[in-house]
Each structure stands twice: as C-alpha cells, then as structure tokens.
C-alpha cells in the first residue's frame, strides 16, 4: 500500500484485536528471554562476545569497498559470476535476463529477505516463472499472501489452524491442523519442487572476502537442496553481510543461533565456495557438470549507509530478531504494522535506507525509546539512537508539522507562556478534576483515561513553594541547584518538596533557579534540535548564575537530557560547547547522589521495615544512566520498607512521553501488564525514580488497584525525616 494511504492507527487497532497474534507474541515474549539466557549459559563472557562481533563488523564496514572487491575476485576465481546490483530494478533485470538465457521456468527459494525487499517473487511470476519459497514459514506466508511478520519466524502471526486452512486450499485436500503432519506434507510437496526447479535462489548469512565463500545458517535443510539441486544457483547477498576472513564468521556463528532461536548451533551451517558439480543427463547418460553459481551483491541503499558516520552501524546487524523479541511495541502489534519487510526498531531504520524515508516517518513513533533492544542486540546497535537521528534528519529536511512547530517553538521554548498555560490548566481542569486525578475525559479524549487516570495539574507549582521550604543552613556542606522538570514543578510539587527535605537534611543548601524551564526532552524526541538548543542555552545560563557545586534532577529523562544531550547538541557551538560540558559535569540524578551521601554519612545500612515496596526501574534510569542499585539501597535503609521485586521490573510502563497519550491504545496494555506484575509482587507501594512513570503507574493503580500507592523514592525518604 502507498505510504500516504496507510492509516497506522487503524492498522494498530486491528492488530490489537487479533487474538492469534497477541497470543503467539505474548507466549513467545515470555519464553524468549529465558531460552536466550539458557543458550548463552556456556558463553563465558557474553559482553565480550558482543564486543567482538561489533568490532569485526565495524572494521568490515570501514573497508567495505576493498572487502567487496576481494570477495568478487575470489568468488570469480572459484568459478562464480558476480554481479553488483545497485538497486531493485538492476537486480531484477539481471535475474530476468539470466532466466531467459538459461531457459529457467521454475525457481525454488530459501533464506532471502533481500529478495523480499524488492518483491522479487512477484516480478518472476509476472514473467511467467513458477516460484516456490521452501522455508516452511516463508512457504506458509506465501500461501497466505502475507509478508513476513518476524525476521526469523515469518509466520509467527498464524496459528496451526490457519496454516492448515492455507495448506488445504493450496493442495486441494483436507489437511488437519497437526504440526508434524503439516511438516511432512510440506516436505513431500516441496521435494517435487526441488527436483523440477531450474534455478535455486538463496540468501546468505555472510560472504567471506578471503575465499569468496558464502555461509548459510539454517535449521530446515531446504537451503541445502535449493543451493545444490537446481542447475543454476543464484545468491543474493547484501553488502552488510560481507566479512574479511573465515575466522570473522566465528562471532556470527556463536551469536546468531543463540540470539535468533536460542540454540547453541543451528542444524546446518553450509559454506559454498564456487559452483559445485551436479549430475545432468546428456544423450541418455548422467554426466557430471559444474553448475552455474551467480552471486548478486546487492546495494539498495546499503553503501550509502556504509558511508554515513552514524548509519554505518546498521552493518552490525546479523538479522537475529532479538530486538523484536524484547520490544514492548512489537510484542503488541507484530511485524506487519511496520509496513515493509523488516519489523521493529531495526526494521524502521532499514526501511529508511532500503525503502524510503516516507515509510520510516509513518512508523517511527512505534519506537518508544525504552532501549530494551540495546541490552540484547549481539551487534550492539543503538537502535533508539539511530531512530532519533533519523527523526532529526527528517526535521532538517522538511521541518515539523505545523502544530508541533507552534507548540515547540512558541510554547515550550517560551518559559513564561508555557508556565502561564500550565497555571491556566490548573484552573481549567476543575470540571473534570477529582482530587489529584482526572478520571474521565469526555468524547474523543475518553481513550486517554481508559484503564488509567491522569494526574491533575497542582494548584500551586513547586516554584511558588520553594521560598517557604528553603532552609537557611548555617554552614552547608554543599550547595546544589534543583532542576525540577515540568512534572515535578507543576504536577508533583510535593515530591519536589521531598527532594528539598532530603537534601537539606544532609546539610546541603538547595536553590531553585527560577528561569529554569522544560529540559527539552519532548522537543528533541521529535527531532527538533534547533529549538532544543535554544532551551538548553537558557537552562544552562539559569544554572550558571546559581553558582552551585551540583545540579540535582529527580527525573531520569531530564537528567539524561541535561547530562548527555546538551553537550552533544552544542558540541559544535564555539560559544556554548564548553559551557554545556561544564554544566553537564555538575548534573546528578537524585537517588544516586543521595545514595552516595548516605553512604558517606554511614546511613546506608539495611534496616527491616513493614511496608512491602517494589521498585519500578524507569527505562532511562536503568539503561541510560545505569542506576538501579542505588534506589533499592536507599529504600532498604529507611527502616520502613521491605523491598520485594516484581517481574519485569525494568520493562517500560508505557508512558514514554507523548507516546502514552498519542498511542493510548498501545500504552494501556503495556500499563495493564505492569499493574499485574505489581499486584503479583504483593507490594503495598510501588517506588519510582521518575515522575513520568509516577504519572503512568499512579494513574493505572488509581483505576486498576487503588489500594496500592505509587511514591517517588524522595517521598519515601522524606517520610522518615522528622520536621
Ligand atoms: S527502544 Fe524499545 S521500543 Fe524502540 S525498538 Fe528498542 S525495544 Fe522497541
Ligand atoms: S539489530 Fe541487533 S538484535 Fe536486531 S536483528 Fe539486528 S543484530 Fe539482531
């Protein structure tokens, strides 16, 4: 479907109603992390293996032209014909000419996602050539007329009853939904195809420059038949699969099966270097002849990525699909919503290069930046980072939609106006407000309060309270400035007061630079770097004037933005680069900072407490700031809490900035699962370190488990301090 005709919201809602898909993805999502961990058990140092794979791929892409030249020369020396296809039309023309030249009427295929990228089967069929996919999953989806919904298990969205229906229709006989029977049936049917085929088309998991060989890592054995039985074998291999030496295949062979199918090794690993001899009938006799081997080195955007300082990283992908298996959004919607062949966050990036930026832009918001994928990717690809970079480039190329431009440039970047609007909202919300919550929104907004309440804007923001709560300390040990962020300033000012109380109890003087405003996270998240720079400069200026030892933030997303994003986006600004670095160096996340102070003061001893408290790790706190032990240590030291762990404590709560509102239909099931895990932990309180998570989880608990409360770590610590 043309990109402009797509209605992503509608597609999402259809997928959410697809019980077969939800069931399969849910079960697989549960089982995968356990199986993967088991498969990696005998790898002494998984991180070292990831480093090794990444280093090998980084070196390969840096030298890709030379590696491709060597691969071509070596493959040709062993009798293969190598063709470099710049794009889909070039590849198709070569292949159609070859089919014509060799009288090819029947083709069998295996393991080629690159061919799916350009809908090769369709082209061959239009030319009157009979094409059969022979990987079981690929064959099933071909029968169903679908595209793959997963990179390793293309038919994961279908159950056995549906598969049996497609089998029955294709074979014109009743096939029972019995998996072993269906596998046998497929084997029998496809065997005939192998024997009659004139050409086999395969992909490759790697191509080795030093000997011109290609490697295939498979489980079904059909790839061996595709590559050996027909008289012509065509390999379609993307440039990203090229590696310099045989030895370089080792980290791939160790990582790919473990990450993809949780196996120590796949059933078959085949290396093909040059055409193999085959038996042909001549004059009534069987004679041995070398078969033809054609290798198509496929570009289609790959070399452009290889030359791009940032996007050469996609060459580190070995297509294991681990990133999909742990992605909270993929687990809900499956692969088809991503639109092209490749699904999930990595799919969105590959789509931008192999298909179009327009297609990427349609689906880019399906990455919520939770960074779960970065913990499993064997090639260590920073998927959310690359998606953010593509958003930035999109904005540079054709700007923001008008409404967002207006919001970011004229409202969020204008502190006075932004804060006036928030104060107005505190009054305007009264008709729908119920205590500290908005529990029901009317009409088309109703979806936003389904399964969760929204927090009400506070009557008095923190900035209007600080004068009253600031203590004059006689000789403070340190002086810090508090960066509250919008949430703590206008929605949770009481938590801001708790931050003050905890810090002042440590004899630390706290100031609140009034010129501070939003950190800019929502703006940079949409790719608007220029407006974020304006915001960053104002905040830096405001905190420089405070002349403090540290800048404390009790929101991990704000901490990341101040500490990581500001120096990055201002790195090329001669006036601001050093100022941004100096500012960032002072930024500390609240719980980590307080944990250090408590440790020094000897206050970090574990004391048993009566209230069962479970801690929810925010995505940015755990996976960007690497802070997870400190809040737990703080909670355990209060004497009030018994810390209990919940299942998937570091899984996203579904808020993710604007995503939680815009895609409330996806946010709601993610939140529901989080609430179930909290309930199962037996906790009476959920502690958080992030006000956005507090908003989402607090709202969910209000509707789904009102006896359980959400509290920021600062609030729990403050409770233990006498006034
Ligand atoms: S960052 Fe999260 S949402 Fe984005 S692709 Fe990775 S796992 Fe999926
Ligand atoms: S991005 Fe990483 S995890 Fe995802 S398919 Fe590629 S190698 Fe596997």
As a whole number of Å, the CA-based R_g of the chain is: 29
Higher pLDDT, 636 or 282: 636
**What percentage of residues in the chain have a pLDDT greater than 70?**
99
DSSP string covering 471-510: ---SS-SEEEEEE-HHIIIII-HHHHHHHHHHHHHTTEEE
How far, CA to CA in Å, does 383 sit from each of 46, 98, 345?
19, 38, 6
Give the tens place of pLDDT for each residue, 187-202. 899 999 999 999 999 9
Distance 47 CA to ligand 2 centre (A): 15
How far apart, in whole angstroms, are the C-alpha atoms of residue 683 and residue 320? Answer: 37
Q: Average pLDDT for residues 110-124, to the nearest whole number?
A: 93
DSSP string covering 655-685: -TTTHHHHTHHHHHHHHHHHHHHHHHHT-SE
Point out the least confidently predicted range of 4-8, 191-195, 612-616.
4-8
Structure tokens of 427? Answer: 């009054």
Give the tens place of pLDDT for each residue, 471-490. 999 999 999 999 999 999 99
Contact indicator for 292, 232 with CB cutoff of 8 Å = yes
When the pLDDT of each residue in the chain is averaged and rounded to a whole number, the result is 94
Q: Give me the pLDDT at residue 55, please.
A: 98
Q: In ligand 1, which atom is closest to the CA atom of 656?
A: 3
Q: Average pLDDT for residues 650-657, to the nearest whole number?
A: 93
For residue 105, give every residue at least 6 positions away whose Cβ sits within 8 Å of its Cβ, in sequence order, or none.
128, 129, 130, 198
Contact indicator for 670, 328 with CB cutoff of 8 Å = yes
Res. 1: pLDDT tops 80: no
Give the tens place of pLDDT for each residue, 684-719. 999 999 999 999 999 999 999 999 999 999 999 999
Res. 110: pLDDT tops 70: yes
The CB of 383 under 6 Å from ligand 1? The reply is yes
How far apart, in whole angstroms, are the C-alpha atoms of residue 458 and residue 351? Answer: 43
How far apart, in whole angstroms, are the C-alpha atoms of residue 135 and residue 217? Answer: 13
Helix, strand, coil content of the chain in percent (nearest 5): 55, 15, 30
Contact indicator for 249, 269 with CB cutoff of 8 Å = no
Structure tokens of 267? Answer: 């059933």
| Phi, psi values for residue 509, rounded to 5° | -80, 135
Distance 327 CA to ligand 2 centre (A): 11
CA atoms within 13 A on the CB side of 719: 14
Q: Give me the pLDDT at residue 321, please.
A: 96
Say which ligand is closest to the CA of 619.
Answer: 1
Distance 388 CA to ligand 1 centre (A): 11
**What percentage of residues in the chain have a pLDDT greater than 90?**
87
How far apart, in whole angstroms, are the C-alpha atoms of residue 235 and residue 130? Answer: 18
Q: Average pLDDT for residues 606-630, to the nearest whole number?
A: 96
Supply the pTM of this predicted model: 0.93
> Given pLDDT bands bounded at 50, 70 and 90, which one contains residue 589?
very high
Q: In ligand 2, which atom is closest to the CA atom of 373?
A: 3
Res. 292: pLDDT tops 90: yes
> Given pLDDT bands bounded at 50, 70 and 90, which one contains residue 278?
confident
Q: What pairing do the DSSP bridges indicate for beta strands 611-616 and 641-643?
A: parallel
Point out the least confidently predicted range of 129-133, 346-350, 356-360.
356-360
How far apart, in whole angstroms, are the C-alpha atoms of residue 204 and residue 319? Answer: 11
> Given pLDDT bands bounded at 50, 70 and 90, which one contains residue 549?
very high
Q: Average pLDDT for residues 669-682, to the nearest whole number?
A: 97
Distance 368 CA to ligand 2 centre (A): 17
- Protein residue with least CA distance to atom 8, ligand 1: 327
> Given pLDDT bands bounded at 50, 70 and 90, which one contains residue 444?
low
How far apart, in whole angstroms, are the C-alpha atoms of residue 400 and residue 396? Answer: 9
Q: Give me the pLDDT at residue 2, please.
A: 65
Res. 371: pLDDT tops 70: yes
Q: Give me the pLDDT at residue 221, please.
A: 87
Contact indicator for 284, 352 with CB cutoff of 8 Å = no
């Amino acid at each position: 479907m043309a990109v402009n005709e797509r209605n992503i919201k509608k597609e999402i809602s259809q997928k959410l109603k697809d019980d077969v898909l939800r069931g399969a993805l849910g079960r697989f999502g549960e089982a995968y992390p356990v199986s993967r961990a088991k498969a990696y058990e005998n790898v002494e140092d998984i991180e070292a293996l990831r480093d090794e794979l990444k280093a090998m791929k980084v070196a390969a892409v840096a030298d890709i032209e030379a590696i491709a030249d060597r691969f071509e020369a070596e493959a040709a020396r062993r009798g293969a014909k190598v063709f470099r296809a710049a794009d889909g039309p070039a590849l198709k023309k070569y292949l159609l000419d070859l089919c014509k030249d060799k009288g090819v009427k029947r083709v069998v295929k295996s393991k080629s996602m690159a061919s799916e990228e350009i809908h090769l089967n369709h082209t061959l069929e239009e030319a009157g050539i009979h094409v059969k996919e022979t990987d079981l999953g690929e064959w099933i989806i071909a029968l169903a007329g679908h595209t793959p919904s997963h990179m390793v298990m293309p038919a994961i969205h279908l159950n056995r009853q549906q598969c049996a229906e497609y089998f029955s229709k294709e074979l014109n006989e009743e096939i029972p939904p019995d998996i072993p029977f269906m596998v046998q049936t497929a084997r029998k049917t496809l065997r005939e195809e192998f024997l009659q085929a004139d050409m086999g088309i395969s992909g490759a998991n790697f191509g080795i420059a030093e000997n011109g060989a290609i490697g295939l890592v498979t489980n079904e054995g059909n790839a061996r038949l595709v590559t050996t039985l027909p008289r012509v074998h065509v390999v379609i291999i993307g440039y990203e699969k090229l590696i310099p030496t045989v030895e370089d295949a080792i980290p791939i062979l160790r990582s790919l099966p473990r990450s993809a199918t949780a196996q120590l090794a796949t059933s078959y690993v085949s290396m093909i270097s040059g055409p193999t001899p085959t038996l042909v009938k001549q004059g009534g006799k069987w004679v041995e002849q070398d078969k033809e081997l054609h290798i198509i080195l496929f570009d289609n955007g790959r070399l452009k990525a290889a030359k791009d300082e940032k996007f050469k990283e996609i060459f580190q992908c070995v297509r294991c699909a681990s990133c999909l298996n742990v992605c909270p959004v993929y687990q809900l919607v499956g692969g088809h919503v991503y639109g092209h062949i490749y699904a999930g966050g990595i799919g969105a990036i590959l789509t931008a290069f192999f298909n179009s930026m327009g297609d990427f832009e349609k689906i880019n918001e399906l990455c919520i930046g939770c960074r779960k994928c970065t913990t499993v990717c064997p090639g260590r690809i920073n998927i959310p980072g690359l998606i953010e970079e593509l958003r930035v480039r999109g904005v540079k190329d054709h700007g923001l939609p008008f409404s967002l431009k207006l919001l970011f440039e004229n409202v969020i970047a204008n502190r006075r106006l932004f804060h006036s609007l928030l104060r107005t909202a505190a009054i305007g919300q009264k008709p729908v407000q119920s205590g500290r919550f908005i529990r029901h929104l009317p009409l088309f907004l109703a979806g936003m309060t389904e399964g969760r309440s929204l927090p009400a804007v506070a009557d008095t923001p923190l900035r209007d309270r600080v004068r009253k709560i600031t203590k004059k300390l006689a000789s403070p040990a340190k002086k810090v400035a508090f960066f509250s962020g919008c949430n703590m300033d206008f929605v949770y000012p009481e938590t801001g007061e708790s931050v003050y109380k905890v810090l002042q109890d440590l004899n630390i003087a706290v100031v609140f630079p009034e010129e501070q405003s939003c950190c800019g996270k929502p703006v940079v998240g949409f790719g608007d770097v220029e407006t974020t720079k304006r915001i960053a400069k104002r905040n830096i200026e405001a905190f420089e004037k405070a002349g403090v030892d540290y800048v404390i933030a009790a929101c991990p997303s704000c901490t990341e933005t101040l500490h990581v994003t500001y120096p990055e986006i201002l790195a090329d600004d001669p006036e601001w680069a050093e100022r941004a670095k100096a500012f960032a160096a002072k930024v500390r996340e609240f719980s980590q900072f307080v944990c250090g102070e408590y440790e020094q003061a000897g206050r970090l001893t574990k004391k048993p407490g009566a209230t069962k408290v479970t801690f929810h790790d925010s995505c940015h706190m755990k996976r960007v700031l690497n802070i997870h032990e400190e809040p737990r240590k703080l909670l355990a030291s209060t004497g009030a809490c018994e810390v209990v762990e919940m299942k998937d404590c570091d899984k996203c709560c579904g808020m993710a900035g604007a995503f939680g509102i815009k895609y409330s239909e996806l946010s709601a099931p993610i939140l529901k699962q989080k609430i179930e895990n909290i309930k199962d932990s037996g906790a009476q309180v959920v502690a958080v370190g992030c006000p956005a998570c507090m908003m989402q989880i607090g709202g969910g608990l209000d509707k789904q488990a009102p006896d359980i409360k959400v509290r920021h770590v600062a609030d729990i610590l403050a409770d233990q301090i006498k006034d």
